[in-house]
Amino acid sequence: MKRLIFLLVSLSLNFSSFSQAPQTMSFQAVIRNNAGQLVANHLIGMRITILQGSVSGSPVYKEIHTQSTNANGLVNLEIGGGNPVSGVFAGIDWSTGVYFIKTETDPDGGTNYTITGTDPLLSVPYSLYSIKSANGSLWSKSGSDIYFNSGNIGVGLNNPATYIHAHGLPVTSRGQLSLSSPAGKDIFLSFYESGNFKAYLWYNVTDQDLRLQNYTAGDLTLNPYGGKVGIGTNTPDELLTVNGNTKVTGNIIPGGKVISQGNITIESSGNNVIILAGANKITVDPSGGVTIESKSVTVAATGNLNLSADNIQINGNIVGITANSALTLEGKGQANIKGSAVNVTGSGLTKILGGLVTIN
């Protein structure tokens, strides 16, 4: 197999001002074969590594390139502009010691690197450090704003996983991240998509409430992934537990069961709504019917009591119907009252009407 000879020609900076990011270094190399002939117009693969401290030091940055040599066997690269493998080029602190550049080359344009060379970086890249020192940081300036867009920002750690990553023990009752505003001003955490406002988390100072609002037609959901949600309690025992009064100005459409703390269950069965309390059951049929099932049923009114339906059926071991004033039971079809003991009492006028009236 042919052996290629690698010759480093030049290494120089390529930038016009600190505010232009990312910064890069222009790198040139001439590739020759073992006969000293130029390898011209040929695709090669290269891996560039910046080492700290020595030729076998720790790698602080690594990237790969696939480039073609020109007619003179010359390959041109921009270190800091390749495909990053590890590290952030703009994040290298050139002030911390000596650095070396390691080059690995695959003459066939792949990643089977058979040519390796390591050389010290001398004065040229340290101009990057002088630029950094003059500006005091890696932040760039745009008018009255500053920005950093060459990597992630870590607070309390050196390997941030996201654009902004804060790590550390929480401040008591404050956590790791805080937002504040001048006195009397609201606090917002806004969400954007490509510059378009989508949603926000808003603390309203006047009302002293916290609001989460979606400004799109999408849903606002709570998904505890196997846990439970509590309102007014930190020990929810159902998927949603509310400790306190609940006000609903719209409709409640049960798709399953609604269980209150008093062991009252509201559930749906077909088109019917069923209310359960222990052994007692009330079934409401929207098509026209209410059924009450219980061991003991008492109907009482301090004024007039009127029961009217196409058919009235009252069944029980003991049936008591009492009205302090007039009592009227009217079944347009049938009126049936059945029980081991039946008491129908009205202090005023008492009427039981029906096409067929039965009292047992």
pLDDT digits (tens, 9 = 90+) for 42-97: 998 999 999 998 889 999 999 999 999 999 888 999 898 999 999 988 888 776 77
Residue ending a domain, among 102, 133, 164, is: 133
Residue range(s) defining the domain that contains residue 335: 295-359
User: To the nearest 10°, the Cα dihedral for 47, 48, 53, 54?
Assistant: 60
Please give the Cα distance from 31 to 27 (Å, whole number): 13
Examine residue 93 and state whether it is found in any structural domain, yes or no: yes
Q: Are residues 285 and 321 both part of a single domain?
A: no
Supply the CATH number for residue 60's domain: 2.60.40.10
User: 190-249: per-residue pLDDT in tens?
Assistant: 888 888 889 989 999 999 998 888 888 888 888 777 888 888 888 888 888 888 888 888
> Where a domain ends, among 133, 158, 185?
133
Output the pTM of the full model: 0.40
**Whether residue 299 sits in one domain with residue 282:** no
For residue 173, being part of any structural domain is answered with: no
Q: What is the per-residue pLDDT across 314-335, written as a single tens digit (0 to 9) for each?
A: 766 667 777 676 667 665 666 6
Distance separating alpha carbons of residues 200 and 191, to the nearest angstrom: 6
Same domain, 77 and 37: yes
Contact at 8 Å (CB) between 107 and 114? Answer: yes
Measured distance CA(341)–CA(144) in Å, rounded:
90
Tell me: do 119 and 69 sit in the same domain: yes
**Rounded CA separation 18/148 (Å):** 11
Mark whether 43 and 65 lie in a shared domain.
Answer: yes
Mean pLDDT (the chain) is 76
Same domain? 325 vs 281: no
Residue 49 is predicted with a pLDDT of 95
pLDDT at 19: 38
Q: Are residues 347 and 264 in the same domain?
A: no
284 and 313 in a common domain: no
Alpha-carbon gap, residue 311 to 290, rounded angstroms: 11
Q: State how many domains the chain has.
A: 3
For residue 87, the model assigns a pLDDT of 92
Residue 163 lies inside a defined structural domain of this protein: no
Residue 58 lies in a domain: yes
